[in-house]
Amino acid sequence: MQTSEELTVLVRATFADMPGSFRPGAFFDERLDCIRVIAKDCSFLETRINENLTVLEDNYAKDSDPTPYVGFTIKGARHFCSENGFSLNAPIQISALLDAVLKSFPGVLVEVFVNGVARPLVKNKRIEQVEVWGVPGQLLQPA
């Protein structure tokens, strides 16, 4: 049996090429066909806004936190992007993406979500674009 020190060395060596710390961002998840915006590294609850939009809420938000929202997901990203003139072969500006969400899903709830949750979240965390890794049809990997 190996000691805990030996196991620690093995684990660190195995994950040495992995990014070390979390950073807020937005990316296209090809396998799940969605765009994910994640602003905080935490356990979260997914709450559906409609059939395409989901808001991510911190499971352990503190009372001192101004908002429990830590991200959101746009499902059906390929169709959504195609319908709104976005290419999944290049980064997409978040502001344009959110404008398209408002246009594609009109309604008070979506408007409140975009203007009250999504825009402040991406502004505060300085998330400017949706990153696209790889090319459609291939497993996506960060650069």
pLDDT digits (tens, 9 = 90+) for 49-94: 999 999 999 999 888 777 899 999 999 999 999 999 999 888 999 9
Q: Answer whether 105's CB lies under 8 Å from 72's CB.
A: no
1: in domain = no
Total domains in the chain come to: 1
pLDDT of 3: 72
Residue 81: give the domain boundaries. 23-131
pLDDT of 105: 95
Question: Which one is predicted more confidently, 112 or 23?
Answer: 112
User: Could you tell me the pTM of the whole model?
Assistant: 0.78
138: in domain = no
112: in domain = yes
pLDDT of 141: 43
Q: Answer whether 101's CB lies under 8 Å from 110's CB.
A: yes
Tokens of 20: 């070390």
Is residue 133 scored above 80 in pLDDT? Answer: no
- Of the chain, the percentage scoring pLDDT greater than 70 comes to 83
77: in domain = yes
Short-list 138, 87, 98, CA closest to 122: 98
136: in domain = no
In angstroms, the CA 37 to CA 129 distance is: 10
72: in domain = yes
2: in domain = no
Question: Which one is predicted more confidently, 60 or 7?
Answer: 60
Return the minimum-mean-pLDDT range out of 48-52, 69-73, 127-131, 139-143. 139-143
